[in-house]
Amino acid sequence: MDFELNENQTMIASMIKDFGEKEITPFRNKWDDDQTFPVDVMKKLGELGLMGVVVPQEYGGSGFGYDEYITAIMELTKLDPGVGLSMAAHNSLCTGHILQFGNEAQKKKWLPKLATAEWIGSWGLTEPNTGSDAGNMKTTAKKDGNEWVINGTKNWITHGKSSDITVVIVRTGEVGDSHGMTAFVVERGTPGFKGGKKEDKLGMRSSETAEMIFEDCRIPEENVLGEVGQGFIQSMKVLDGGRISIAALSLGIAEGAFEAALKYSQEREQFNQPIFNFQGISFKLSDMATKLEAAKLLTFRAAELKNNGKSVTKESAMAKYYASECAVEFSNEAVQIFGGYGYTKDYPVEKYYRDSKLCTIGEGTSEIQKLVISRSILK
């Protein structure tokens, strides 16, 4: 494995840095304060090819692999983790589900709009009373002639109000049956489909999180993704890839926090010398540097397997678990190194600190990752 940035990764990193200086950094605190989802920025990311990174060019995407995708998420996340999260959710979940399980007609119909960000995508699995326990979902779809009628509510949905299209997984069989759920594509404007409550969150506030409500929402048969009854099985495979994106999101926060703390430790003086000279600080940074490299190795290892079409269940869970815990630890240590200044909004580590916690929760908690890993190592 070669971990040097390839030409495409270098180009993407440079492009995002230049874009971020003009379009993200000047506005991120305002977005955070007001909990604004910058749809216009997502559209511009689409123009740059970042909203369809792994989508083949024949469907309007960039046609890159997961190495480039990880780099794009990391670099965006350093600028604003909320923007990184929205970009990752759009790519991995909604777009990724259609790319992986849609038929040719469905791919040609929806992927070009998603890959260019003409349409913003969302993905609905979680419900108010079924987080990790997705098998007990209450949202249902019942067949009525050539249509399916969906009723129920999904929550904690990224872009739940603002998305133009969603992939929603609902129950079409018995409760608890892993083969009793089906994935449907629903376009915004479909009667009976609307956004609900928008969550007021601790962090990731520039990424919209909201309910999706379905009330006698009629969906044509051709909007079924794959086979009826395969929605949950599909979702688990989609999440395998999605966890790589959350690992990348975590890496962006971890690296951003580390770089900010390292720079500050060399500039901040106490007792007539830079605070980096004190072992209490330098040892923290040494631990962070070592763990950061380990998290990168896990994440890019999962990406290599994904690029080669191999199973990534265990590896993506390991990468997501370890990198997300590092993100929380690093942002906490960065605030500590900054001292009182780290507790203010004048420096980015305060935001990294709040944003990081989502990484240990979204797309499967750290505890769920341990469950996935433990089951994998027993096989």
Contact 241, 92 (CB under 8 A): yes
Give the C-alpha separation, 289 to 280, whole Å: 15
The residue with tokens 């369809």 is 52
CB 156 within 8 A of CB 196: no
Contact predicate 127/152, CB 8 Å:
yes
Residue type (1 letter), 180: G
Rg of the chain on CA atoms, in Å: 21
- Report the distance separating Cα 34 and Cα 23, nearest Å: 17
Q: How far apart are CA 211 and CA 89, in angstroms?
A: 15
Pairing of strands 121-124, 165-171: parallel
β-sheet bridge partners, residue 157: 210
One-letter amino acid of 158: T
Q: Are 154 and 202 in contact (CB under 8 A)?
A: no
For the chain, what is the largest distance between any 2 Cα atoms, rounded to a whole number of angstroms?
79
Q: How far apart are CA 310 and CA 315, in angstroms?
A: 11
Could you give the CA distance from residue 225 to residue 124 in angstroms, rounded to a whole number? 13
Give yes or no for a contact between 108 and 59, defined as CB atoms under 8 angstroms apart.
yes
Q: Which residue has the tokens 């780099």?
A: 71
**H or E stretch at 120:** none
Does residue 363 carry a catalytic annotation?
A: yes
Catalytic-role residue among 75, 127, 350, 363: 363
Q: How far apart are CA 188 and CA 96, in angstroms?
A: 19
Residue 55 has phi, psi (to 5 degrees) of -75, 130
What is the H or E stretch that residue 93 is in?
none
**Distance separating alpha carbons of residues 249 and 360, to the nearest angstrom:** 11
Enumerate the active-site residues. Answer: 363
